[in-house]
Amino acid sequence: MPAKFQLRKGTTGKFRFVLLATNGQVVATSEAYERKASALAGIRSIQKISSLAAIEDTTTVEYAQAEAAKKAAAKKNGGAKKAAKKVVSKAAGSK
């Protein structure tokens, strides 16, 4: 049996889909959707992009180092943005 998506309606009336592996085990579960059409659109979206999806291993040291560098750069840029706003507001106030 090939892998398949299974659309389900919960007790709350919301729709979800699951991805079943070839052995019938659930390997992924979607968020809850208010409308069936939205859930079906979610399935189509996953079908379309999944073959192109990269694997991002967040358990590696390299990943942790890259994330730390991104956070440090964002913090530094955030400080630069605040300083620029201060200069602009002072210049506007001195006119």
The CA distances from residue 50 to 21, 22, 31, 85, in Å, are 14, 17, 17, 42
Token pair of 30, please? 């979607």
CB 81 within 8 A of CB 87: no
pLDDT exceeds 90 at position 16: yes
Contact at 8 Å (CB) between 21 and 34? no
Domain of 9 in residue numbering reads as 4-52
Q: What is the pLDDT of residues 38-66, one digit of tens each?
A: 999 999 999 999 988 999 999 999 999 99
- Cα 32 to Cα 36: distance, rounded to the nearest angstrom: 10
Q: pTM for the full model?
A: 0.63
Residues 20 and 40 in one domain: yes
Same domain, 24 and 60: no
Domain match, 25 and 65 both? no
What local confidence, expressed as pLDDT, does residue 76 receive? Answer: 84
Decide: 87 and 94 in contact? Cβ < 8 Å. Answer: no
